[in-house]
Amino acid sequence: MKSIILYGSQYGSARRYAQALSTRTGIQAVSRKDAPPLSDMKILVYIGALYAGGVLGLSRTLRGLPSQNIQKLLIATVGLADPEIPQNRENIRNALQKQISPNLYAKAKIFHLRGAIDYRVLSWKHRTMMALMHRSLQNKPTEKWSEEDRALMETYSKQVDFVDLSSLQPIVNELKQEPDL
Ligand X SMILES: Cc1cc2nc3c(=O)[nH]c(=O)nc-3n(C[C@H](O)[C@H](O)[C@H](O)COP(=O)(O)O)c2cc1C
Binding site for ligand X (CB under 6 A): 9-15, 49-53, 78-81, 115-117, 122, 126, 129-130, 148
Q: 70 or 81, CB closer to ligand X?
A: 81
Side-chain half-sphere CA neighbours of 31 within 13 A: 7
- Dist CA 140 CA 123 (whole Å): 26
Q: 43 or 49, CB closer to ligand X?
A: 49
Quick check: 31 and 7 in contact, CB under 8 A? yes
Q: 30 or 122, CB closer to ligand X?
A: 122
**How near is the Cβ of 50 to ligand X at its closest, in Å?**
4
The H-assigned helical ranges of 7-159 are: 13-25, 58-62, 86-97, 102-107, 124-138, 147-155
CB atoms within 10 A of CB 177: 8
**How near is the Cβ of 181 to ligand X at its closest, in Å?**
25
**How near is the Cβ of 129 to ligand X at its closest, in Å?**
4
- Dist CA 38 CA 3 (whole Å): 9
**How near is the Cβ of 140 to ligand X at its closest, in Å?**
16
CB atoms within 10 A of CB 35: 19
**How near is the Cβ of 137 to ligand X at its closest, in Å?**
13
Q: 159 or 169, CB closer to ligand X?
A: 159
With CB atoms as reference, the residue minimizing the distance to ligand X is 115
